[in-house]
Structure 1
Amino acid sequence: MLGIGTTVGTWVFFHMFMLQRTYSFSGFIKEPLDENQAEGDLTYFTCIVRELDDTQYISWLHNGRKISKNGEIIINTYAHYSIDYNSVFGTCNLRIQNVQRRDKGRYTCTVYDSNDKIVEKSRTANFTVLEIPQQQYPICSSTQTSYRVGQYVVLNCISEKTTPLALLRWVHNIGGSDSGLKESLTGNYEKSYSFIAKQSDNRAIFTCELTTSANPSIERNCTIGPLDVLYPPIVRIQQTRDVILGNEAIFICYSDANPQETTFEWSFDPPINENMFVLENDIILRIKNTLSSLNGTSVICTVTNSIGSGSSKLIVNVKLKESINNVVESNNGKETTQSEKPNERNKNKSNNQNSKSNQQLLQTRSPNNNNSSSTDISISLVVIIALVCIIVILGLALIPVGYMKYTRRQPSDTISRGRPVSIPDVYFEPRDHIDPMLPQLGLAAPWMRTVGVQVPGECEYDATYNTQVMPQPRQVYYTQRMYPASSL
């Protein structure tokens, strides 16, 4: 009987235990889903279970590693993780703040028993971290620090290799081609831009822009430049005015070079005597006295720098004085003009054109007369404007003075009928008043009358009424009115 009772008791206990386990956990109400999130952002994984007993708990697994127990993170390297846990409702949500690249992987919500054995696992959620290139990217670089004209230039823009890949774009105004995005030897990704260097490319600036689909708000860039393109001098000669027989001729040599010019050299073809010209700073050539033999002579300026040399040539065209209309002659600081005869100016159409051009040359060379006449006109104009301003100011100042004079002599007032009434020059205004009662005397103060008189300023002065009345003390005033002195 004892054996049968023990067997029945064991069976009942086992049945009740199994019934209790089945009732305690019946499954997941909500399981975690796959997530994609960019670095630095926030993400959630949700887990809700049904009916846990006191011997069971929930944990999260990251790539098969237990990282939490109920509502606490148990690994220090996951300090940016947190758990939203509620045992009543069976919720155990995983929150990842400031997502990092190492957070990617598989996440599973798992139910354990008191012996740390797995009771049930949820579906595995895959977490993809959208990687953003680190702050130092993009990086721009070039193969050389300087280039010569005609040399092949290669510029590189480097970005970190991420998932997804960043987009690189060169911004410039110089024709060339890019290589597209390719993997570099360092394991990063780069985009190259290449072109043939020209003189116009000197001082050019190139910009590489980085964007990423992981976070469209991120826009970064790096620059290369100003680009240093070396080229030999580019030379040109300019003459300041027409070359006139017997006058001074000036020629200037301009140069554009990188690096800077080192030497300037002047030469003539055919050669001329060295005494005929003077150099100023090696850039300006002055021929003191132009001779007819210089007509057709080639003036050559050659400039040299460390890259090479460049030159320019100008052919001298000497013009005669007789062919110039209104030529200015200098005489002790004064200038006189000589005009050609009308018959000579009307010989042919070409002479008319030459005379017009020479007249324009004269106007540019002799500005003294024009300046003197224009100076006289400007001084006269300034004097006229000053006089007009003074008259206007005086007129404006006299307006208030006249108004005040008129209103003072003719004061007026209005009556009920609306007609103006003149105010007399002399009038009387009587005013009555009574002095205040003195409390200690119990007597009424005397009645007094005060008369005010207004006399115009232009009336005659009468010395009879010019009697100065001295103020009386208070005791004298009341004594005269027979008040006892003891009451004062």
Structure 2
Amino acid sequence: MEGLACVMFLVFSVCQTSSFSGFLKQPTDEKQAEGELAYFNCIIKRLDNTEYVSWLHNGHKISEDDRIIDRRNIDRYSIDYDPDVRKYNLQIQNVQRRDSGEYTCTIYNSGGIIVAESKSANFTVLQIPREHYPICSPIAARYSRGQAIIISCISENIEPPVRLKWKRNSVDITSGIDRKMTDDNHVVNYSFLAKKSDNRAMFICELTTSANPSIRRNCSCGPINIIYAPVVRIKQTGNIVLDKEAIFICYSDANPEEERFEWIFNPPIDRNMYLLENDRILRITDMKRILNNTKVMCQVTNSMGIGSSVLYINIKSQVSSEESKADYVDTTKSENKDRPKDKKSIPNHQLLITTSPDQQKNTTHISISLIVAIAVASIVVILGLAMIPVGYMRYTRRQPSDTVSRGRPVSIPDVYFEPKDHVDPMLPQLGLSAPWMRTVGVQVPGECEYDMTYTQISPQSRQAYYSQRMYTAASM
């Protein structure tokens, strides 16, 4: 009893001597993605010198005042400490999954006894899938046409859950999807029956997460190998004409590649009537009437089976050697029968057009006359067009047209002038100077006062000038 009384007395004494008066700021719930920065606030109103502040993580002490004492997280945890305002904020760098849980700001006395605690803040770490996710299941080396195929995409089961989506050649797949969640994994399966169109297809699983929208990863299955028997078709080049060459081409799509091509005829035809090129091209060199309605089959074989295609010979046009001298117009599809000679039955066959010798002669005469008339008219038109520029040039030479100088029209004058400052060279036979005959005239505008600078030159004035100069020299 005495021991119990002592303990109660000590507790009562501690409570009485504590100076803690409350929190100015307490931590609140937080959410942060892995790799980011988290921050929790704790500011005390008043604290005694014998008391200190610690942060607890899920009940485990990780700090004392401004020191981190948790050795596992000493490189990532830190205290934003300010003794003047009694601030003890907790910072967590490079957030990891193990950082999730409850955080509490706690007041201790010197004896290590808890004096007060803040509200617990719940920290949710938004998990990012690890770098090696997603993982696509392996596929077989090949699948047969019609075989059931299941491909899987796996990621880890985290919070928040990742989003997995299958695509076929970059197109979203919406059917045949099955999702499963286990304790550790998130699995998305896609099942389908192998088709010929799936050959060489690429199936891609894309991973995204709401924790970090910038993250987008994928894995792939493929290109997938679908094997199938040949798919065959025959193409006919042009119409089949009697006594002409006919060409048939056998196309095949197969995986693996074709091993053998074979042409089969029913009824059989003579081997000399046709040629084969690379076993794929059939040439019937001379189409005969007996081949009409013959069944032609191209049969292709590979390791998966046999494929074939059938075509029936249908002769579209039959023209005899005598009728080839006359012109004809193909009005409708011809049938595989001889053309009737009666004009009443022509609508379903070719319409023959014949002319008599006299009609042909008259037609020829008219044609020559028409050609001559057209030629004469063309020559007249050409000559008329050629005379237009000639007449224009002659007209413009008779009547001088204005020219343009510095943006304004200038008329070509009828009178030219010479400068007065010319030089009189010495005449060789008289030893006298005479006016120098210039060969370049100067065009003077009408508004220019040319009397002071220029003088008008005419044959009469020049002759009189020479006479006067020679008389004066003789007198001297």
- What TM-score, normalized by structure 2, do the two folds share? 0.65
SS in 2 for 1:347: helix
Cα 1:166–1:245, aligned 2, differ >3 Å: closer, same or farther? same
CA displacement 1:190-214 (0-9 Å, x = unmatched): 1001111222333333333333333
Q: CA deviation at 1:26?
A: 2.5
Cα 1:231–1:325, aligned 2, differ >3 Å: closer, same or farther? farther
Matching residue's letter, 1:180: R
Q: CA deviation at 1:344?
A: 4.2
Is the contact made by 2:231 and 2:307 (CA closer than 8 Å) also made in structure 1? yes
In the alignment, which residue of structure 1 is the partner of 2:103? 107
Between the aligned partners of 2:405 and 2:231, the Cα distance in structure 1 is 89
Is the contact made by 1:44 and 1:94 (CA closer than 8 Å) also made in structure 2? yes
Residue 65 (structure 2) pairs with residue 53 (structure 1): no
Cα 1:39–1:412, aligned 2, differ >3 Å: closer, same or farther? closer
Is the contact made by 1:59 and 1:67 (CA closer than 8 Å) also made in structure 2? yes
In the alignment, which residue of structure 1 is the partner of 2:191? 194
Q: Superposition pairs for residues 421-436 of structure 1, below 5 Å?
A: 425-426=416-417
Q: CA deviation at 1:314?
A: 1.4
Is the contact made by 2:328 and 2:350 (CA closer than 8 Å) also made in structure 1? no
Between the aligned partners of 1:285 and 1:413, the Cα distance in structure 2 is 80
Q: CA deviation at 1:264?
A: 0.9
Between the aligned partners of 1:340 and 1:109, the Cα distance in structure 2 is 104
Q: Superposition pairs for residues 66-77 of structure 1, below 5 Å?
A: 66-74=61-69, 75=71, 77=73
CA displacement 1:249-280 (0-9 Å, x = unmatched): 21111111222222211121222222221110
Q: Superposition pairs for residues 29-428 of structure 1, below 5 Å?
A: 29-74=24-69, 75=71, 77-172=73-168, 176-183=175-182, 187-318=184-315, 321-322=318-319, 338-339=327-328, 344=341, 346-348=343-345, 351-355=346-350, 425-426=416-417
Is the contact made by 2:418 and 2:441 (CA closer than 8 Å) also made in structure 1? no
Between the aligned partners of 2:43 and 2:220, the Cα distance in structure 1 is 52
Matching residue's letter, 2:198: D
Segments of structure 1 that go 5 or more residues without pairing to the other structure are 1-13, 328-335, 357-386, 431-452, 463-488
CA displacement 1:227-255 (0-9 Å, x = unmatched): 32221111111221333333222111111
Cα 1:49–1:411, aligned 2, differ >3 Å: closer, same or farther? closer
SS in 2 for 1:102: helix
Is the contact made by 1:168 and 1:181 (CA closer than 8 Å) also made in structure 2? no
Cα 1:290–1:70, aligned 2, differ >3 Å: closer, same or farther? same
Q: CA deviation at 1:18?
A: 6.5
Q: CA deviation at 1:149?
A: 1.3
CA displacement 1:387-434 (0-9 Å, x = unmatched): 9xxx9xx9xxx9xxx9xx9666x87999xxx9999798547699xxxx
Is the contact made by 1:251 and 1:284 (CA closer than 8 Å) also made in structure 2? yes
Q: CA deviation at 1:33?
A: 2.4
Percentage identity across aligned positions? 46
Segments of structure 2 that go 5 or more residues without pairing to the other structure are 1-9, 331-338, 352-381, 422-437, 444-456, 463-476
SS in 1 for 2:286: coil
Matching residue's letter, 2:177: D
Instruction: State the aligned residue count.
Output: 367
Is the contact made by 1:151 and 1:196 (CA closer than 8 Å) also made in structure 2? yes
Is the contact made by 2:23 and 2:45 (CA closer than 8 Å) also made in structure 1? yes
Between the aligned partners of 2:50 and 2:79, the Cα distance in structure 1 is 20
Cα 1:338–1:70, aligned 2, differ >3 Å: closer, same or farther? same
* Greater shift in the superposed pair: 268-277 or 207-216: 207-216
CA displacement 1:3-29 (0-9 Å, x = unmatched): xxxxxxxxxxx9xx9699333x23333
Between the aligned partners of 2:108 and 2:177, the Cα distance in structure 1 is 58
Cα 1:18–1:253, aligned 2, differ >3 Å: closer, same or farther? closer
Is the contact made by 2:157 and 2:181 (CA closer than 8 Å) also made in structure 1? no
Between the aligned partners of 1:27 and 1:326, the Cα distance in structure 2 is 121
Cα 1:429–1:98, aligned 2, differ >3 Å: closer, same or farther? farther
Is the contact made by 1:237 and 1:312 (CA closer than 8 Å) also made in structure 2? yes
SS in 1 for 2:18: helix
Matching residue's letter, 1:250: I
In the alignment, which residue of structure 1 is the partner of 2:358? none
Q: CA deviation at 1:319?
A: 5.5
Is the contact made by 1:154 and 1:193 (CA closer than 8 Å) also made in structure 2? yes
Q: CA deviation at 1:285?
A: 0.6
In the alignment, which residue of structure 2 is the partner of 1:380? none
In the alignment, which residue of structure 2 is the partner of 1:445? none
